[in-house]
Amino acid sequence: MFGLDRGGACKELAFKVAENDVDNVMGYLWEREMITGVYRPRILHAEMPDGSKTIKRTIWGFIADRDHDQYTGRLADNDAVKLILQGQGMARPCLDYLKNTLDHLTDQGIHDRSLARIIKKAETGKI
């Protein structure tokens, strides 16, 4: 999961969870994402498009903790690439996860030049 960070935005992407599934979904997210405490879960207010109008919703967001040892938002590209190339999730390498994320962002019309630049460096091995 990518946590939110100061100075950014999350555009038009939220998952609606059925009321009777909230405890299971939040338990799963806590188990998977809060293991190291790198995020600060927060209840946020969001404006969501709904046809021709905008509605306000209360949502859960996971905010990056800039004081946490695993916060990487200040890393130089080369240092980030080193971490990406050594990273391995349970299912696949970190680089695959990042490429998949970038593809989905692009599909949503969101162009993250920084992420694309870092992925390109990681793919070419040019550090």
Residue range 20-65, pLDDT digits in tens: 999 999 999 888 888 888 888 888 888 888 888 988 988 888 888 9
pLDDT band at 14 (very low <50, low <70, confident <90, very high): confident
What beta strand segments (E) does the chain contain?
A: 39-50, 53-64
Q: What is the pLDDT of residue 11?
A: 67
Which residues constitute the domain of residue 30? 1-72
Q: Based on the domain organization, do 30 and 63 belong to the same domain?
A: yes
Q: Based on the domain organization, do 67 and 80 belong to the same domain?
A: no
Q: Based on the domain organization, do 31 and 82 belong to the same domain?
A: no
Q: Based on the domain organization, do 65 and 107 belong to the same domain?
A: no
Q: Based on the domain organization, do 26 and 56 belong to the same domain?
A: yes
Over residues 76-90, the pLDDT tens digits come to 889 889 988 988 877
**Average pLDDT, rounded, for the chain:** 86
Q: Based on the domain organization, do 58 and 81 belong to the same domain?
A: no
pTM equals 0.67
Q: What is the pLDDT of residue 15?
A: 81
Helix runs in 19-112, H state only: 22-33, 77-86, 94-107
Would you say residue 16 has pLDDT above 80?
yes
- Measure the CA–CA gap between 6 and 73, rounded to whole angstroms: 10
Which two structure tokens, joined as six digits, stand for 47?
Answer: 């404006």
pLDDT band at 127 (very low <50, low <70, confident <90, very high): low
Helices (H) and strands (E) in the chain, counts: 4, 2
Cα distances (angstroms) measured from residue 93 to each of 39, 89, 122 = 21, 6, 12
